[in-house]
Structure 1
Amino acid sequence: MKSPQAIIHLSSSTLISFLFYGLAITCLTSATVSASNETDYLALLSFKSKITHDPNKVLTSWNHSFHFCDWSGISCGKRHKRVTILWLGSKGLEGSLSPHVGNLSFLREFGLWDNSFQGTIPHELGRLSRLRRLYLGGNKFNGVIPRNLSGCSNLRVLSLSQNKLVGSIPKEISLLSKVALLLIEGNKLTGGIPPFLGNVTSMEVFAADDNPLGGSIPDTLGLWKSLRIFYSGECNLYGSIPPSIFNLSLLGNFSLDENHLTGSLPSVIQLPNLEWLQLRSNELTGVLPPSISNCSKLGFLELSFNNFSGKLTIDFSKLRDIEYILLDENNFHGGGEADDMRFVDSLKNCTRLVTLDLRNCNLTGVLPISIGGIPPFLGNVTSMEVFAADDNPLGGSIPDTLGLWKSLRIFYSGECNLYGSIPPSIFNLSLLGNFSLDENHLTGSLPSVIQLPNLEWLQLRSNELTGVLPPSISNCSKLGFLELSFNNFSGKLTIDFSKLRDIEYILLDENNFHGGGEADDMRFVDSLKNCTRLVTLDLRNCNLTGVLPISIGNLSNQFSVLNLGDNRLFGSLPSSIGSLVGLTYLDLGINLFKGIPTTIGKLYNLQLLDLSSNQLSGPIPDAIGNLSLLIALDLDSNKLESHIPSSLGNCQKLNYLDLSHNRLGGKIPKQLLKLPALTILLNLSYNNLSSSVPSEIKDLKMLNTLDLSYNNLSGNITSSLGECISLTKLILSGNIFQGIIPSSLSSLGGLQELDLSQNNLSGKIPQFLDKWVSLNFLNLSFNDFEGEVPVVGVFSNASRFSVLGNNRLCGGLDTLKLPKCMERGSKKKRFPFIILVIVIAPTLLIVLCCLYLLYKKKRNSQPSQSSGNERFLKVSYNQLLKATDGFSTTNLIGEGGHSSVYKGILDSNNNKPVAVKVLHLQNKGAHKSFLAECEAWRNIRHRNLLKIITSCSSTDFQGNDFKALVYELMPNGSVHDWLHSSTNTSKLNLLQRINILRDVAIALDYLHNRCQTTIVHGDLKPSNVLLDDDMVAHVGDFGLARLLGSELNQNSSSGVKGTIGYTPPEYGIRSKMTSCGDVYSFGILLLEVMTGKKPTDDMFNEGLSLHKFAYMALQDRVINVIDNDAIVLQSTEANAKKVEECLAATIKIGVSCSVDSPPQRIKIENVVNELQRILDVLQDI
């Protein structure tokens, strides 16, 4: 419903028509121009020459073929054939106003309103002494109001509104003694309302709204005895309102809203013709004078947002025409008496009253029974045909007596704060055509029998209605609009829509329909085939289950909008959906659909397609590229695979594209980056995209948001991104980008969010980042940046940026706890040091060479070892028998298919505990395995590898071969025990887990990259990672798996190349073991440590693996998959955010290690660096 202001406020065009007195246009034809009017002819030609654009061709007739008196917009006097009227308002003309118009000396009416004239108003207009009406409003004139307009001594109407005029109102205007209408609103005039205007006693209409005039209202305006309309709202006026204005008996409209006026209203107001009084948003005080009730014609009273006080004593019973009483945001009171609200009784005669607003007025007392809701006595008005009360805070319930309105055709009471149920009697009003009660607080259900044969419009949106929709709605055969959305309707949809042949809109979204979970929840769709006028079907978020019937394709070509999003619909999308050629909007998101039919490419009129958050799999159909009118495409959060089709480049109008959270691979198609309309969003995050970002990204100059995070994109960040100058959000996190941040990004000064975290970026933090004033958040965490962190711009607030996990950064805010940056010495101080280095370096080099030669000579003179196991001091079978108490079962700490491990005390080891690994030599290849493991240990020693003390190669008491390895005993057992043992009540915390993973990664890095020959472990798993007293991790059971597999975990099954669940997929095709295989095993081990789930758990089936489980968690909230024992509540939100970032970074490492393709796995040395960064962050929390 329109606002009160819009209903009564008179526009300038209305005023013009109201004051336009009998304009007569007389046209005389003549073939030639006489000498007496040559001046007018030339003046008009000059006027035409200044017109630069005439879209409506109104000046086409202005040529020598016609007498100028016959030209469009021109009227001449009958006697002299001189131009008396130039009338070209609202013609779309552009240009400037020729000063030669001042030569039209007989001109009486001049109108150019609502065009696009520019430049200044020529002062030559002052020569038009016969001019009566001048309309120049609604243009683009600038400069000042010409002073010599005073020469237009017969001027009655001067309209200069809605231009760009500046300066003050010139004093010479006061000489226009005949002016009745002065319109100057909507300019940039200053200098106040000058007192001399009071001399223009003929003034009837004065409008100066929306000018920064300033100053006070002069008393002299009380001399305007003929004044009928006064508008000066939003003029920066201050001071009080002169009391003399309240004695202008002809004044009908008086508005001074949104100024800074003070003081009070006079006690005596004598305005018998006042219809509109608007003083909203000032600083007026005092009591409202009771004499306002003498304004018997008053229809609009708005005094809200002031500081009026005292008791309301206006007798509203005298204001029979009042429609709006807006007194909100004041400070009325009656001393706290119970009769503060007695004035309400006087409203009973106000039969036209629409709105009463007394919000926040400090009123106390009792609300009389004479008010409240729709009064029941209205039912007595049995002749009622139309009742409209929308957008009123009526309150109360709907009275049953309205059922007496047998002639009622239209009932509108939306947004009226109504509550209670809808009286059933209303649903029997046979003539009712339009019924709207939207956005109230109505409760209850609809009656089972609805008898409204003429109902065309039923709107009950946004209430609290419940129950089943009655099937009898289908008896409303003329129904064209049905909106029952945002309620709590339930039950099965049993309306027979086939009877509603005129239905155009079915809006039932945001309810709770269901059919008991049966597959026929959507059967009602079959009844829509006769609804040939149907345009929109909206059932979003209605709790529907079932399959979308093939009959959906039977809807008419007019059908334009289908919204079934946020339900529980399943199955394949029917190919018949391609028959809905009129569709412009298709939303099936947040369901359980599978598969996109290729027929979707036939929806040539489609502008929005939302299939997000389903279970769609397979490739994106190339046919989607046929949708040339598509504006928005959302396919996020599905299981789509293969590549992004280049055919999407045909969707030239696409401005929103979201393909995130899928399994799409390959390169980013260049065609996608050349879409000219792509301005809102391009989101390809959480996929498997690889290679570098194409340089064609520069063509997306108008793009607002670009998200490529969590893919496998590599290479340098392309400098072409610097040409995407409209970006406000750029997210490239979770990739493998390297190199520095390109300087070209400095042109992206409008960025509000920049996320480059979890990459391999290096170099210094660019200086331009701290100069971007619009940047709200910057994330550079988990990279390899170095140098000083700035402390200005975005870097001045620690909550607005993150540099976690960059170990080579220094400086910055104290809260970052980074090391201080070392000051660089001067060149003078460094010079002696450089000289010293130059002198000493050669000498030191010579000494080192000599030492190396001596060492080599000594080593060559020593005999070489004959076998790998000679490095270790031998121990006898008897010693091991004694150490393990006869290999007692009480000392057995692990047993597998190929070995058993016992704990014991060995005399030759200073009585320290040891672990004795006894090989089962009856198994084929055990002897060779023993030698292989000894060889593996011969030249390696590291703090994170299990320390071997000695070995035994002998025979037992029965003469059988006996071979054993003796290791340092790890008192805290294996990681497997800590994660999965039911007897172990203690659990690993987050820091311990990251420390263990870091230790294992360091061990692998040593084996792969720090030994003379690369050593592949071959069977890395939690049971082979052992913990000492300090919970330091040691990798053990090393090398044996390369031949036989070594199993201490009886819950796992082994093969020749490792353990099921931890073995990389390439080993299954007889591939040679490599260090990449160890990295895969480490990735699975990491994910198991962080999630607490084994790769062989029962939940991992039907294509779901531990790797995929973690990968999908990256797309949502990682913390949901982390082992609960590893999560510790943080004291601050900032710390919690840091922990969550660290968890995400850790899981990403595990996912990157365990990808199927060996070349795409992250290098173990990079894993060590990343884990160390994460550990540094967590230790600082």
Structure 2
Amino acid sequence: MPMSTIALSLNSKTDKLALLALKEKLTNGVSDYLPSWNESLHFCEWEGITCGRRHMRVSALHLENQTFGGTLGSSLGNLTFLRMLNLSNVNLHGEIPTQVGLLKGLRVLDLGNNNLQGEIPIELTNCTNIKVIRLALNKLIGRVPAYFGSMMQLTELSLGHNNLVDSIGKLKNLGGMALAGNKFTDALLYLDLSNNFLTGPIPSEFGNLKQLSQLNLSLNKLSGEIPKDLASCIALTELWLGGNFFHGAIPLFFGSSLRSLKKLNLSENNFSGIIPSELENLTYLNSLDLSFNNLYGEVPKGGVFSNVSAILLTGNKNLCGGISPLKLPPCFKVPSKKHKNPFKRKLIIGSVVGGVLISFAVLIILYFLARKSKRLPTLPSLKNGNFRVTYGEIHEATNGFSSSNLVGTGSFASVYKGSLLYFERPIVVKVLNLQARGATKSFTAECKALGKMKHRNLVKILTCCSSVDYKGDEFKAIVFEFMPKGSLEKLLHDNEESGIHNLSLTQRVDIALDVAHALDYLHNGTENVVVHCDVKPNNVLLDDDMVAHLGDFGLARLIHGATAYSSVDQVNSSTIKGTIGYVPPEYGAGGQVSPHGDIYSYGILLLEMLTGKRPTNSMSSIRNVPDGIFEIVDSHLLLPFAEDETGIVENKIRNCLVMFAIIGVACSEEFPSYRMPIKDVIAKLNEIKSMFPCEDPLLVFTRKYD
């Protein structure tokens, strides 16, 4: 037998043995999986296997969208002719084996949407011909490897939705390679680092990625201004920067240089200033999200701004103008400075003089009022918002704390609705009951925590007041923004049967997402971890747009350090009351307060939203999913689909309901370490939204970067 035939036989046998060992790991030895992988067929005919014609060696392995649930074995390294490996969405766990570095001919590596853990192996640097790396939607940790910048052929790098931590500045070599005459920047087309824990400003070297088509840095902790160097990325069609801490003005070069943009997401940042009219010049732009920033002034009317369904501006309080469907107030136009008419000139001079006299009279009145107010002894109020408020102003705002203004009472406080003369929107005042044990501590913790919180899904604190009342007694109050749609408790359990509680499935998923984002921010988005300690429907409040806001930090405790809790900083759960039905079991045993406790309460909240029943009622049946899901869910969720005779919609709705129930059950596991991480919750809820066929676009606020 010729030596070449012997070598070919041995190499083919090596591939076969490697595949069989790989199957054992992938399937955990379950024989029902991959039935074609047996001796009756040549391995090149096995499911998901492609072989090269010349050497009959395995060149591609693609087994995506399975439910294997196993690990990726080291025998993978023996498939030395492998060019493509696609094991996405097969429920893999464990780590990526270092033997992947033996696949020097690998072109495509797709292990996305699994449960892989550990760090990205450095041995991947040996795969110098690789073009596509997709590792998104896993649980990978550690730093983003800097060596990706040395991979000359790389066109797509997708690492989104993991737990990677680093300063993004250390990734500047992704763009900096061009400075050494490298061809890397001629190759990279797609870069996704979204939903990790990256910090710092965008490095200016990213401007060297001149062929980059899509850049997704959303849902990190990035900060600073957008570097002008990005103007060089003229091939960009999609730019996702939402959910970070960027500030400054929206760059003008977006409209002048990035003329190929189709999607631009800058939502949930700290951008300020006016919306540049240059964005009207982006003729291909069909999706623009500027929501939840600090933008003000006139909204342009041309280009993408002429299509109300293509833009999102919610959460910018001081915008005006724009097209009529936006329903923004008209902009104030400054009159011309040229007054050729002498009569107009005299009229203006008279108006100015009159204004000065009126202002002088007002100052005199305010002076005497100030002297009068000094008769009431006060202590300096806390300035957590943009203004200070006194006891007298709060007394007047609530009609003397009238019972008609009372909207709720608790163990630590009474809550009143009111209005301040110099604040255009209604307010809510939480007056602490200082006779209750722990009320002062509750006030201090709440002011300290809420004053630093800034997120679209947290109830906004306007200011705090620490003073004395008219009797000379100590007075403490917190002023919040009023939420006109009330609490989720009221919407779910409307005792007056008014029908207001008929929340659709779409609305409930959106509310669940909003609360999840709020918890993710409290647990992961701040320097000090904040544990809410009382997540329940009554503390979920909704604004006019049905966006949910998590409120009432009366039981919140700051725990210093996001990864380790010291004995000094921990709060014993015996001091936390919470609410019966939502308190995690470990708190009842005197365990330490932790974010896991909030996840438990959130899981109970989800199950309550699904069933329409309070946790004090029996929820044991919800543990058995998907069997009988239609029998245990709130009947109002099924009414819109009652006339469906095809069964198609019914099956899709069942899938949505089952997934929602599974998330609730996974979050409310008895043991804290078994509970679903909040970032996984967000990913799964977004998955429900993407598969739900009956969404009402008027009710859904779509996060386009998910």
TM-score by length of 1: 0.35
SS at structure 2 position matched to 1:572: coil
* Aligned counterpart, 1:720: 229
Name which of 27, 30, 34 aligns with 1:518: 30
**Is structure 2 residue 125 aligned with structure 1 residue 615?**
no
Distance 1:650 1:840, change over 3 A: same
* Aligned counterpart, 1:678: 187
* Aligned counterpart, 2:384: none
SS at structure 2 position matched to 1:828: coil
Name which of 646, 666, 671 aligns with 1:1099: 666
CA deviation string 1:688-728 (max 9, x = no partner) = 33322111111100122222233332222221111011222
CA distance in 2, matches of 1:630, 1:619: 19
**Is structure 2 residue 330 aligned with structure 1 residue 820?**
yes
Question: Residue 740 of structure 1: CA displacement?
Answer: 1.9
Contact 2:15/2:78 (CA < 8 Å) preserved in 1? no
* Aligned counterpart, 1:252: none
Question: Residue 611 of structure 1: CA displacement?
Answer: 1.3
* Aligned counterpart, 2:522: none
Q: Which amino acid aligns with 2:121?
A: P
CA distance in 1, matches of 2:106, 2:247: 41
CA distance in 2, matches of 1:1038, 1:516: 46
CA distance in 2, matches of 1:649, 1:807: 42
Structure 1 runs not aligned, ≥5 long: 1-477, 479-496, 505-513, 543-551, 874-893, 902-918, 920-924, 946-950, 952-973, 1001-1015, 1069-1079, 1122-1126, 1131-1135, 1149-1181
Structure 2 runs not aligned, ≥5 long: 17-25, 178-183, 380-390, 396-407, 415-432, 447-459, 464-468, 470-485, 516-529, 558-570, 616-660
SS at structure 2 position matched to 1:788: strand
* Aligned counterpart, 1:1111: 682
CA distance in 1, matches of 2:444, 2:120: 53
**Is structure 2 residue 559 aligned with structure 1 residue 1049?**
no
CA distance in 2, matches of 1:707, 1:617: 22
SS at structure 1 position matched to 2:106: coil
Name which of 539, 552, 556 aligns with 2:47: 539
SS at structure 2 position matched to 1:606: coil
Name which of 152, 168, 181 aligns with 1:652: 152
**Is structure 2 residue 132 aligned with structure 1 residue 632?**
yes
Q: Which amino acid aligns with 1:735?
A: N
Question: Residue 789 of structure 1: CA displacement?
Answer: 3.2
Q: Which amino acid aligns with 2:139?
A: K
Distance 1:982 1:598, change over 3 A: farther
Q: Which amino acid aligns with 2:82?
A: L
Question: Residue 670 of structure 1: CA displacement?
Answer: 1.4
Contact 2:244/2:268 (CA < 8 Å) preserved in 1? yes
CA distance in 2, matches of 1:1037, 1:931: 15
**Is structure 2 residue 60 aligned with structure 1 residue 561?**
yes
**Is structure 2 residue 98 aligned with structure 1 residue 598?**
yes
Greater radius of gyration (CA): 1
Name which of 804, 810, 826 aligns with 2:320: 810
Name which of 257, 264, 268 aligns with 1:747: 257
Contact 1:1062/1:1085 (CA < 8 Å) preserved in 2? no
SS at structure 2 position matched to 1:1111: helix
Q: Which amino acid aligns with 1:616?
A: L
Distance 1:1120 1:714, change over 3 A: farther
Contact 1:979/1:1092 (CA < 8 Å) preserved in 2? no
CA deviation string 1:777-817 (max 9, x = no partner) = 43334434333333333334444444444443333333333
SS at structure 1 position matched to 2:253: helix
- Map 1:71-150 to 2 at 5 A: none
Q: Which amino acid aligns with 1:1104?
A: R
Contact 1:727/1:748 (CA < 8 Å) preserved in 2? yes
Distance 1:838 1:651, change over 3 A: same
CA deviation string 1:20-63 (max 9, x = no partner) = xxxxxxxxxxxxxxxxxxxxxxxxxxxxxxxxxxxxxxxxxxxx
Distance 1:564 1:993, change over 3 A: closer
Name which of 88, 92, 117 aligns with 1:589: 88
Q: Looking at both structures, which has the greater relative contact order when contacts are Cα pairs under 8 Å and sequence separation is at least 6? A: 2
Name which of 564, 567, 570 aligns with 2:69: 570
Contact 2:202/2:226 (CA < 8 Å) preserved in 1? yes
**Is structure 2 residue 214 aligned with structure 1 residue 700?**
no
- Percent same amino acid among aligned pairs? 31
* Aligned counterpart, 1:218: none
CA deviation string 1:1004-1038 (max 9, x = no partner) = xxxxxxxxxxxx998654476599xx99x999999
- Map 1:853-892 to 2 at 5 A: 854=368
TM-score by length of 2: 0.55
* Aligned counterpart, 1:662: 162
Question: Residue 623 of structure 1: CA displacement?
Answer: 1.8
Question: Residue 600 of structure 1: CA displacement?
Answer: 0.8
Q: Which amino acid aligns with 1:716?
A: E
Question: Residue 602 of structure 1: CA displacement?
Answer: 1.9
Number of matched pairs: 511
Q: Which moved more, 1:641-650 or 1:1091-1100?
A: 1091-1100
- Map 1:301-380 to 2 at 5 A: none
CA distance in 1, matches of 2:440, 2:610: 35
Q: Which amino acid aligns with 2:71?
A: S
Question: Residue 517 of structure 1: CA displacement?
Answer: 9.4
Q: Which amino acid aligns with 1:645?
A: P
Contact 1:570/1:593 (CA < 8 Å) preserved in 2? yes
Distance 1:632 1:1017, change over 3 A: closer
CA distance in 1, matches of 2:134, 2:83: 14
CA distance in 2, matches of 1:824, 1:651: 56
* Aligned counterpart, 1:403: none
Distance 1:837 1:1087, change over 3 A: farther
* Aligned counterpart, 2:699: 1139
* Aligned counterpart, 1:779: 289
Q: Which amino acid aligns with 2:666?
A: M
Distance 1:619 1:1019, change over 3 A: closer
SS at structure 2 position matched to 1:562: strand
CA distance in 1, matches of 2:703, 2:201: 23
CA distance in 2, matches of 1:702, 1:1035: 42
Distance 1:636 1:768, change over 3 A: same
Distance 1:672 1:1039, change over 3 A: closer
- Map 1:376-395 to 2 at 5 A: none
CA distance in 2, matches of 1:855, 1:1040: 39
- Map 1:143-162 to 2 at 5 A: none
Distance 1:537 1:814, change over 3 A: farther
State the superposition RMSD in angstroms.
6.4
CA distance in 1, matches of 2:79, 2:346: 84
CA distance in 2, matches of 1:660, 1:935: 38
Contact 2:221/2:244 (CA < 8 Å) preserved in 1? yes
CA distance in 2, matches of 1:766, 1:581: 53
Distance 1:838 1:575, change over 3 A: farther
CA distance in 2, matches of 1:1120, 1:685: 21
CA distance in 1, matches of 2:247, 2:163: 23
CA distance in 1, matches of 2:136, 2:549: 43
CA distance in 1, matches of 2:409, 2:282: 63
Q: Which amino acid aligns with 1:633?
A: I
CA distance in 2, matches of 1:1037, 1:779: 29
Distance 1:503 1:661, change over 3 A: closer
Q: Which amino acid aligns with 1:819?
A: P
Greater helix proportion: 2
